[in-house]
Amino acid sequence: LLFFWTWIPGFFAIIEFLAFLFTSSDSIENDYTADNSDVAFVFIPISVTFIGFLVLVQWTAYTDDLKLGIERSKVSEAVELLNGLKMPAERYMAVKGEFPSVIEEVTTKTSGNDIATLTSNPEGFYFEATLNQQDSVLAGKVVRLVFHRDSKTWRCRSPYTSNNLKNQFTEDSIKGIPPEYLPTVCKSSNVEINANLDYWKREKVSEATQLLEGLKTPAERYMAVKSEFPFMIEEVTTKTSGKYTASLMSNPNEFYFEATMNKEDSALVGKVVRLIFHRDSKTWGCSAAYPNGIPQKYLPSVCQSSAAEITANLNSWRREGASEAILLLEKLKIPTEQYIVAKGEFPPTIDVVTKKTAGKYTANLVSNPKQFYFEATLNKEDSIMASKVVRLNYYPNTKQWSCSAAYLNGIPQKYLPSVCQSPGAEIIAITNPAMRDELSRSKVSEAIQLLEELKKPVEQYMADEGEFPPAIELLSLLSDTDKASIKYTASVIPNPEEFYLEATLKKEGSVLAGNVIRLIYHPDTKIWSYNAAYPNGIPQQYLLSVHKLPSVPVTPGHKVAPTPGRNTLKCILRKGHC
């Protein structure tokens, strides 16, 4: 029994069986006496049965080995045909620079006794032999000779997948030859095949990255001359595609070139890689960290940057756009201060202090003389920054400037320089008393400016109509522009009986909510004066000296006495009808 797995027991069993068949019954009777005839009667059938079983087992093993040997010979023929393609294929690649697209380019023998076809796959860099569709377990199965481009070597493979070895070749694995039929040299895992395909895809991507790399120097020269990123790719190169690259394009808004892969490979078709110019460091970066980007494993290490790096570059570019606007505003300081000294007022329009009212990223600059600030609005170069604003505020009392964008449509804080990253004048005023007073004065200044603008229209109205204008007529005197620009003033109401205009501030969380100031007309002298000495009047500290009156005790319910001669003038304006 120790040798049951070899041919030895079977060999002896056959000899004994033949000897038994050709031995006469007399000889058997002589060998086995009557004393042990019962033993012979039992032993002989059992021996014959056992010997027959051994013969059957050995014959089955023999036929299985015979079939396996036949199938292996078929595979060996396929491998031999494939090996004969190595030298012609290497010569072809040395001359053409590519893998043979059809098998006839390297051999005239495209089939064999047990080989149905030989084919070439230039995308996967392999030749494939398909076995004949005959009564065989290997009918239609394939074996491949794969060229590894990194090591310039050949490997024999069959895309077979066992239960514990899964890969992406689901369709191919059905055609794979089981390992027991393959020569030892072909019994490697599909991991190597996948690695070769990955290498091939990486080389395709390398073509795209090399095309992008070639744009660096021309683009830098272009930016040095034009001071802007190339608007179109044709401005820096004439080669806008390649064998595996469908197109190259330029994005001047976000400062990058983009390469798109063509349909040569279904895994890469439509995928992109970008060459990005970092304006802060004047360097280039390669990345594909986008939804349609080339998978990281096919990219060179220099291009395997994260989306965070791309975002950082975009933030840098947007900060530069905001910086341009702030620089334009900064240049207004000195001419504005000179204008205020000469004219005694804040510039009514931007063009009186500068001729440059726009820039590459700045749509316009405007002046707001009522609230003492300049405002820069960004253009539509970037959808995130389009129409965002930043302001340069002037404080008349301290003669200081501040930069801020803390408004609903303000530039986001992260794109502003640190000097402009304030929470806004409204917020600062809560914790800074000096700033609160300055903000309150700016609100009062708006009301006073409105009253000042009404002087001449009211005088003209009195000259034409002979009476102080009523409320409905007063509001009609304001232009649409003035109405739209009112921010802190709730109303301006005339009092035709006592000849004054009263401005009331808005009730929006301010220390001045509902406070008033009056512009009084003196008929005898035909001059105007301001007064806020009322219980709900604007506190004196928020008024300019020209608007302040001597401190006069005021009691609740106190009413300012009519100016002498006022009623007389009223009669005259009404043409004697008193």
Q: How many residues would you count in the chain?
A: 578
Residues 15 and 86 occupy one common structural domain: no
Please indicate, yes or no, if residue 428 is contained in any of the structural domains: no
Please indicate, yes or no, if residue 313 is contained in any of the structural domains: no
Helix (H) or strand (E) holding 527, with range, is strand 527-531
For residue 445, what are the contacts with CB-CB under 8 A and spacing of at least 6? Answer: 370, 371, 372, 396, 544
- Most confident range (mean pLDDT) of 44-53, 144-153, 161-170 is 144-153
- Most confident range (mean pLDDT) of 6-20, 198-212, 267-281, 352-366 is 352-366
Work out the mean pLDDT of the chain and round it to a whole number.
Answer: 75
Residues 284 and 354 occupy one common structural domain: no
User: Tell me, what CATH number does 548's domain have?
Assistant: 3.30.700.10
Residues 474 and 407 occupy one common structural domain: no
Distance CA 423, CA 413 (A): 9
**Contact between 200 and 124 (Cβ < 8 Å):** yes
**Contact between 294 and 288 (Cβ < 8 Å):** yes
Please indicate, yes or no, if residue 173 is contained in any of the structural domains: yes
Residues 404 and 279 occupy one common structural domain: no
Burial class (CB within 10 angstroms; exposed 0-12, middle 13-18, buried 19+) of 534? middle
**Final residue before a domain boundary, out of 141, 175, 198:** 198
Residues 130 and 152 occupy one common structural domain: yes
Residues 180 and 235 occupy one common structural domain: no
Instruction: List, for residues 7-66, the tens digit of each pLDDT value.
Output: 666 666 667 667 766 676 667 666 655 555 555 555 566 666 666 666 666 556 556 666
pLDDT at 219: 93
What is the number of structural domains in the chain? 5
Q: Which amino acid would we find at residue 196?
A: N
Please indicate, yes or no, if residue 364 is contained in any of the structural domains: yes
Residues 552 and 464 occupy one common structural domain: yes
Instruction: List, for residues 333-386, the tens digit of each pLDDT value.
Output: 999 999 988 888 899 999 999 999 888 888 899 999 888 999 999 887 666 788
Please indicate, yes or no, if residue 63 is contained in any of the structural domains: yes
Torsion of CA 417, 421, 426, 430, to 10 degrees: -140
- Most confident range (mean pLDDT) of 13-27, 150-164, 396-410 is 396-410
What proportion of the chain, given as a percentage, has pLDDT over 90?
14
Helix (H) or strand (E) holding 131, with range, is strand 126-131
Please indicate, yes or no, if residue 316 is contained in any of the structural domains: no
Look up the domain containing 380 and give its range. Answer: 347-422
Burial class (CB within 10 angstroms; exposed 0-12, middle 13-18, buried 19+) of 293? middle
pLDDT at 424: 46
Residues 125 and 143 occupy one common structural domain: yes
**Final residue before a domain boundary, out of 168, 198, 228:** 198
pLDDT at 350: 93
Residues 563 and 446 occupy one common structural domain: yes
Q: Give the range among 23-27, 314-318, 435-439, 538-542 with minimum mean pLDDT.
A: 435-439
